[in-house]
Amino acid sequence: MNKNRKFLFIFLIILVVILVFFILSNIIFAEEVELKDEYSTKIWQVVKQGISDEITEITSSSDFKIEEQAALVIIKQAIKADIAHYLFIDVPKEVGKSVINAIIKLAYSILTGDPALVIGEIEKLSVEKAKEYAIDWLLQNEIRTSNGNLEISYSTYRGNWEKAIFPYNIVYHPLGPKQGEVGIEIYSSKVIKTPFPSRNFQWEGGIEELKPFIVRINGELEYVDDVYRWVKEPQIDVVFDEPVPEFKFEEPGLFDKLKSYLDKTKKAFESLKDLINIFSSKLNIFQATVGPSPNLVPPDLSAESPDEEQEEVINPEIIEEIGKKIEEVGEKVEEKIETGSLQEFDLKQAQEILDDIAEKIDILSQKVAELVGESEGIGGPIEPVEELEEEGTEEELVGEEELEDEKTAICFVEINTASKEELQKITGVGPVKAQLIIEARPFSSINDLVRVSGIGEITLQKIIEQGCAYVEHYTGGGGGGGGGGGAPTTYPKILISEIQISPLTERFVELYNPNNQTIDLTSWYIQRKTQTSSSWDSFISSTKFEGKTIPANGYFLISKQIENSNIVLDLTLSDNNSLVLKNPNREIVDKVGWGEAQDYETAPTLNPEAGQSIGRKWINGGYQDNDNNQDDFETQEPTPKTENSKPLLPQPILEVSLQNLEFSIIESATPSGTEAFNISNAGDGSFEWQGIIDYATPSDASWLKIEPSSGQVSDETSEVLVSLTQEAAGLANGNYEAEIIITAQGAEGSPQSVEVELKIEQAGEEELPTLEVIINEIAWMGTGANSVDEWIELYNNTDQDINLFGWRLKSSDGGPNIIFGEIPETSIITTTTISTNGFYLLERTDDNTISDIPADWQGSFGNGLGNNPDCEILSLYDQNDNLIDRTVCLDDGNWPAGKNEKIGDDWIRISMERIDSTISGSIPENWADNDSTISQQGLDAKGNLISGTPRAKNSSK
């Protein structure tokens, strides 16, 4: 019978442990199978090089296939353009299994075996269950995965713009500490247009479309010097004859994330109720199986106050309240969706409430787990005792006698300083009551123990009679009561030194000991409060600090998975929270609040961005502690268990508008020419810059002048125009090269350089424009609405369409300098094709310059077109730098045509038109004013008629 009891007891304990594990894990965290972004990014770098090598090999192969070359060229540029990382659980439900099956097949490409069995099991499951199954399978096989999209926009073979998204899967299987196998698949599930052959898209051309394909890459990598390298050449295949999975990874919306979290909270709650039911019925099961035990419920305990913690856990009202809260959140969100009134604030507020509920469930689950292992009423493990059966052995008799002897053994337990284990030597005290005693310290006498939940007068009397517990010099015995006193124990200062809340896998809290001796953290604890909570909740319970110490002038780290952590734990932290550190006296030792937290010291510090931490300032060899969170903390790069980083100062970023400039002159007698470029700050703060000329071609004279050669750029709203003047007098004919090196102290992106080329040609050898496309009309003066609303019109002189991709329109002073096909942030391009005998319209800044006629290109003209007497020469070059057309200026510096005059309060602005498209634009007489009395075309930004003919025949023809 005794053996049956023990078997039943063990069975119940195992069952409870399983349930507790399920609750504490809650779900299988998908992050555990994720290949971190920093590693997947480095893998893409080595993949890009592998694709480049494969393109070269394909091109030189006798079995050359133009489709494979085009596909790899696009994918290579997509890797350079934009990689968006997601996780496979983020795909829409309708394509979830398709993605999971693709990952499993890919994983088997680097493992051995047939994926059919695993895929067969997945097909039997719902999408959510299939995801859990896949995560479990990947973990068992030590597979890490990265998923996402490659995204790119490019000019097509026909000159239009194509935007393509290529989902990808990466699987990685480690072979050792720094080696592993990798499998990658990139999917193009739709027919896409091919790119126009150019410097970035170097392929043979000849086809306009690519049918769906998969790029498949397999190989072995090693991690050396912080980068991945191929152990041997990877296998790269472009497959056009297999079905291509159709899906796209997307960031879940706020509602999708909230719904997922709500479902997980409900599952955890249901598991908690199951666990409580088991706990509540455990003793009944025992008694029904083995009969009542006098040691389990002594007769004189009937008058003792109930164990409040046990009541709190199994109280149906508390459990019912949690269930109602969960349902209320779900109902409110659903209601707002149906009425169309759901806003981001509502979702964040619901998230906060669910955070609180999840934490309460977690705390109750842990308490139930502790209560399961604690004796009911007396203390020590549950061990039902009854009269020994006749066949009982001598060993059993000895064992029972030892159990009884433990209750009367001589012991000395100082309740203000004893550990949790030592406190359990006191009669009636198990793990839970021991913890409550620790949290209720200090006690001035034994009688104060009645303040502890679950210890009433009867239990107190038994403790006194045991003669084991005492306060300082009190050793109470017999029937005596009372006891000595003394001042409470004092504890040293410990600081909360750093907190990171996002991303989840890198979340941590760091403590620092500013004292010159090691400090015992036993019975210390940390509490948390959310923005909407009215009370403090447990964050790190004192049981987690049991037996832990923090070294002198050292750190103590609590994290989810950071190496060398002192406590490893799933942490619940979010924006607008507060943390408080308390010593065993329940005194606040340190407090930190951030964002819109309710509790803080003087003022809260800021919410940190993802990937950053809240760090206490390290000043003059120590951490600042002025009891002001706003002053004491700052946002910084995370430094777990090391000295906090210096303040994140505003980071300026150097940007130079041009990378190359060109002077082309006829012999050295040609007057000096000027080019220009801009220096700007794309970041915060400011920087000092300096420009130095480095002549690459030896010459006896310095032929460049830079003005200014140094200065300051304050912030992103300001820029400096730097002029370069060639002073080539006396130089022999030929090509000269120089480099302008721009340095900016303390700025990211420094140094940068501008390549300068000077071509000096013999007189009579001037390059003649070919005039296939001409500069047909120029509004250098702007429009009646605004002088900066400049526009330029090109005209196709031929009987065929011309793709301008790679062509360049540049001004003699450096602005504008437009390369057709490039899309900087400051421009928008609709097409690069100019149709047969058609027009191509360029508008400065935006498409409102000519409000009723759409532009083919809109964007920055640099420093704009100069007014008289600052005429600029415009030159048009094709993709091979052949001169196609060029305009002219008069000797007095004026434009050869066009007007910019003010009559009364009105500005008269008339465009400059080409007269004969077959004659060079370098002849001043080939330009005329638009005749606004005959022909006006288009409206300016204010709705006035434009004195010009944009996208129409010139009035002078």
- Please give the pLDDT value at position 338: 61
**729 or 413, greater pLDDT:** 413
**710 or 129, greater pLDDT:** 710
| DSSP assignment string, 170-225 | EEEEEEETTEEEEEEEEEE-S-EEPBPPSSSS-S----SEE--EEEEEEEEEEEET
**362 or 819, greater pLDDT:** 819
**CB of 628 within 8 A of CB of 603?**
yes
* Global pTM value: 0.37
Question: What pLDDT band is residue 311 in, cutting at 50, 70 and 90?
Answer: very low
The pLDDT tens digits for 880-923 are 989 999 999 998 889 999 999 888 888 899 999 999 999 999 99
Number of alpha carbons in the 13 Å side-chain half-sphere of residue 594: 24
Q: Which residues, other chains included, contact 548 with Cβ-Cβ below 8 Å and sequence gap of 6+?
A: 520, 521, 522, 556, 566, 567
Question: What pLDDT band is residue 294 in, cutting at 50, 70 and 90?
Answer: very low
Q: Is the pLDDT of residue 186 over 70?
A: yes
- Name the least confident of 198-212, 241-255, 385-399, 484-498: 385-399
- Please give the pLDDT value at position 717: 55
Task: State both tokens at 415.
Answer: 């309740």
Burial 859-892 (b: 16+ CB within 10 A, else e): bbbbbbbbebeebbebbbbbbeeebbbbbbbeee
Catalogue the long-range contacts made by 891-895 (C-beta closer than 8 Å, 24 or more residues apart): 893/868, 893/869, 894/868, 894/869, 895/778, 895/780, 895/868, 895/871, 895/927
Question: What pLDDT band is residue 320 in, cutting at 50, 70 and 90?
Answer: low
- The residues facing 809 across adjacent strands are 818, 876
Asked: is 495-628 a CATH 2.60.40.1260 domain? The reply is: yes
- Please give the pLDDT value at position 690: 92
The pLDDT tens digits for 71-126 are 999 998 888 776 766 666 555 566 678 888 888 888 888 887 788 888 888 888 88
The pLDDT tens digits for 833-883 are 999 999 999 998 888 899 999 999 998 887 788 888 888 899 999 999 899
What gap in Å lies between CA 600 and CA 593, rounded to an integer?
Answer: 4
Q: Is the pLDDT of residue 380 over 80?
A: no
Query: How far, CA to CA in Å, does 165 sit from each of 152, 187, 230, 580, 754?
Result: 7, 9, 27, 47, 34
- Please give the pLDDT value at position 100: 85
Range ranked top by mean pLDDT from 230-239, 394-403, 485-494 = 230-239
For the four alpha carbons of 195, 198, 202 and 206, in that order, the dihedral sign comes to positive
Task: State both tokens at 865.
Answer: 């077109």
Q: Which residues, other chains included, contact 161 with Cβ-Cβ below 8 Å and sequence gap of 6+?
A: 153, 154, 155, 829, 830, 831
- Please give the pLDDT value at position 597: 92
**918 or 196, greater pLDDT:** 918
Task: State both tokens at 574.
Answer: 């979010």
SS3 per-residue string spanning 567-636: EECCCCCCCCCEEEEECCCCCEEEEEEECCCCCCCCCCECCCCCCCEEEECEECCEECCCCCHHHHEEEE
- The residues facing 182 across adjacent strands are 172, 219
- Please give the pLDDT value at position 705: 86
- Please give the pLDDT value at position 468: 81
Give me Rg for the CA atoms of the chain: 39
Question: What pLDDT band is residue 42 in, cutting at 50, 70 and 90?
Answer: confident
- Please give the pLDDT value at position 926: 94
CATH architecture for residues 654-761:
Sandwich (2.60)
For the four alpha carbons of 700, 705, 706 and 707, in that order, the dihedral sign comes to positive
Task: State both tokens at 684.
Answer: 């915060």
Fold of 395-470: DNA polymerase; domain 1 (1.10.150)
Mean pLDDT, range 595-610, rounded to an integer: 93
What gap in Å lies between CA 281 and CA 524, rounded to an integer?
Answer: 34
Q: Is the pLDDT of residue 317 over 80?
A: no
Strands of the 817-819 sheet, one edge to the other = 817-819, 808-811, 874-877, 883-886
Mean pLDDT, range 233-246, rounded to an integer: 91
Beta strand 734-744 with 899-903 is: unpaired
**283 or 723, greater pLDDT:** 723
For residue 652, say if its preceding peptide bond is cis, omega within 30 degrees of 0. Answer: no
Task: State both tokens at 895.
Answer: 């434009």
Q: Which residues, other chains included, contact 923 with Cβ-Cβ below 8 Å and sequence gap of 6+?
A: 888
Residue 555: alpha-carbon gap to chain centroid: 27
- Please give the pLDDT value at position 513: 95
The pLDDT tens digits for 498-524 are 999 988 889 999 999 999 999 999 989
What gap in Å lies between CA 82 and CA 279, rounded to an integer?
Answer: 54
CB burial class (10 A; 0-12, 13-18, 19+) of residue 232?
Answer: exposed
**28 or 448, greater pLDDT:** 448
Q: Is the pLDDT of residue 547 over 60?
A: yes
Q: Is the pLDDT of residue 486 over 80?
A: no
258 secondary structure, DSSP code: H
% of the chain at pLDDT higher than 90: 28
What gap in Å lies between CA 49 and CA 218, rounded to an integer?
Answer: 14
For the chain, the helix, strand and coil percentages under 3-state DSSP, each to the nearest 5 = 30, 25, 45
Q: Is the pLDDT of residue 582 over 90?
A: yes
Question: N- to C-terminal Cα distance for the chain?
Answer: 116
Q: What angle do CA 611, 612, 613 make, to 5 degrees?
A: 130
Query: How far, CA to CA in Å, does 500 sit from each of 588, 610, 635, 642?
Result: 21, 8, 10, 14
273 secondary structure, DSSP code: H
Q: Is the pLDDT of residue 646 over 80?
A: no
Mean pLDDT, range 532-540, rounded to an integer: 83
Q: If you average pLDDT over every residue of the chain, what do you get?
A: 77
94 secondary structure, DSSP code: G
- For residues 568, 572, 575, 576, the Cα torsion angle rounded to the nearest 10 degrees is -110
What gap in Å lies between CA 929 and CA 453, rounded to an integer?
Answer: 97
Q: What angle do CA 766, 769, 775 make, to 5 degrees?
A: 130
Run of H or E residues at 274: helix 254-290
- Please give the pLDDT value at position 584: 86
Q: Is the pLDDT of residue 288 over 80?
A: no
Q: Which residues, other chains included, contact 489 with Cβ-Cβ below 8 Å and sequence gap of 6+?
A: 416, 417, 441, 442, 584, 585
**903 or 673, greater pLDDT:** 903
SS3 per-residue string spanning 9-72: HHHHHHHHHHHHHHHHHCCCCHHHHECCHHHHHHHHHHHHHHHHHHHHHHHHCCCCCHHHHHHH
What gap in Å lies between CA 693 and CA 754, rounded to an integer?
Answer: 10
Residue where the block lists tokens 């983020």: 90
Identify the CATH assignment for 773-929 out of 2.30.130.10, 3.90.1150.10, 2.60.40.3080, 2.60.40.1260.
Answer: 2.60.40.1260
| DSSP assignment string, 896-909 | SS-EEEEETTEEEE
- Please give the pLDDT value at position 385: 30
The pLDDT tens digits for 693-709 are 888 876 666 788 898 99
Range ranked top by mean pLDDT from 92-96, 213-217, 384-388, 940-944 = 213-217
773-929 shares the fold of 395-470:
no
Question: 626: alpha, beta or left, given left = phi > 0 and alpha = psi -120 to 50?
Answer: alpha
What gap in Å lies between CA 443 and CA 488, rounded to an integer?
Answer: 8
| Spans of all domains in the chain | 2-25+254-372, 34-239, 395-470, 495-628, 654-761, 773-929
What gap in Å lies between CA 379 and CA 422, rounded to an integer?
Answer: 12
The pLDDT tens digits for 744-764 are 887 888 898 888 888 776 555
The pLDDT tens digits for 409-442 are 456 788 888 888 888 888 888 887 888 888 888 8
Task: State both tokens at 139.
Answer: 């973990």
What gap in Å lies between CA 780 and CA 940, rounded to an integer?
Answer: 14
**CB of 169 within 8 A of CB of 102?**
yes
Question: What pLDDT band is residue 212 in, cutting at 50, 70 and 90?
Answer: very high
Beta strand 817-819 with 808-811 is: antiparallel
- Please give the pLDDT value at position 508: 96
Range ranked top by mean pLDDT from 6-15, 330-339, 481-490 = 330-339
User: Letter for the amino acid at 921?
Assistant: G
Number of alpha carbons in the 13 Å side-chain half-sphere of residue 61: 13
CB burial class (10 A; 0-12, 13-18, 19+) of residue 203?
Answer: buried
User: Letter for the amino acid at 40?
Assistant: S
Mean pLDDT, range 353-361, rounded to an integer: 60
